[in-house]
Amino acid sequence: MKVIILGGFLGSGKTSVLLQLSQFLVSRSPKEEGTTPVVIVENEIGGVGVDNLLLENQGLTVKNLFAGCACCTSSAQLEDTVSFLKKECNPHWIIIEATGLAYPDKIKHTVESAFGVETGIITIVDATRWFRLIAAMEPFVSGQLENARGVLVNKIDCVDEACIDAVIESLKTYNPTIPCHPISAITKLTDVFWVTLLGSLLKRP
């Protein structure tokens, strides 16, 4: 079992990326009896879920973690949830969609400490709002980049080239070595893209 955490601020496009990522992982996972290719943990800060309904309608296995944030107030529940899924579903992959208010690195720490599994963070940023968010809440938004194996600069269909370059330049000031991938999550992301992004995570133990 391996774990991928999708982080990023509210409205950055995590769910759109998740839909594509889960399809990619399902297509690559071996069909073994008694296992589930991909299970999604959907964390919502509020008591009512919206994204989980969309994901369930796509036929995905979704476990909800509502009314709290898995990086802080619901970290204990996250451990319980992953433990339950490991036992009940025996998944090849668990994708945790963090709340837009979470620090993904804290979730990674919780999962790795409790289960000792390989865990990767993908952070999604909204190219159209990056500078506004940085101006309003820099420590928080930049904190979401911590320990990410890649940043997806989303919504590039809504901005020009100069804006994309400026966002990437800004991202590099917080983490000079972080790989940045401009994307539009509403268009199909290729298998080559995912292989490049996930790299060693895709290797079977």
CB of 91 to other proteins, least distance (A): 25
- Binds other proteins by CB under 8 A, chosen from 8, 9, 171, 180: 9
CA pseudo-torsion sign 27, 29, 35, 38: negative
Closest distance to other proteins from the beta carbon of 140 (Å): 7
Nearest distance, CB of residue 50 and other proteins, angstroms: 4
User: Smallest distance, Å, CB 47 to other proteins?
Assistant: 5
CA distances from 45 to 103, 197, 205 (A): 13, 27, 34
| Residue among 9 and 194 whose Cβ is closer to other proteins | 9
Backbone angles phi, psi at 126, to 5 degrees: -90, 110
Q: Which helix (H) or strand (E) holds 136?
A: helix 130-143
| Dist CA 143 CA 153 (whole Å) | 16
Concatenating the DSSP letter of every residue in 55-98 gives HHHTT-EEEEE-SS-TTTTTHHHHHHHHHHHHHHH-EEEEEEE-
State the Cα–Cα distance between residues 24 and 18, nearest whole angstrom.
Answer: 10
Q: Which of residues 11-70 bind other proteins (CB under 8 A)?
A: 11, 44-51, 53-54, 67, 69
CB nearer other proteins, residue 67 or residue 178: 67
Q: Which is nearer to other proteins, 49 or 120 (CB)?
A: 49
Contacts of 134 (CB under 8 A, 6+ apart): 141, 142, 170
Candidates 26, 101, 117, 166: give the one binding other proteins (CB under 8 A): 101
Cα 112 from chain centre: 16
Does position 72 interact with other proteins (CB under 8 A)? The reply is yes
Show contacts with other proteins in window 150-189 (CB under 8 A): none
Q: CB of residue 188 vs other proteins: minimum separation in angstroms?
A: 23
**Pattern of binders to other proteins over 113-142, x per CB under 8 A?**
-------------------xx--x---x--
- Tell me how far CA of residue 184 lies from CA of 33, 84, 134, 154, 189, in angstroms: 35, 34, 21, 5, 8
Whichever of 10 and 202 has its CB closer to other proteins, that residue is 10
Contacting positions for other proteins (CB under 8 A)? 9-11, 44-51, 53-54, 67, 69, 71-73, 75-76, 99-101, 106, 132-133, 136, 140
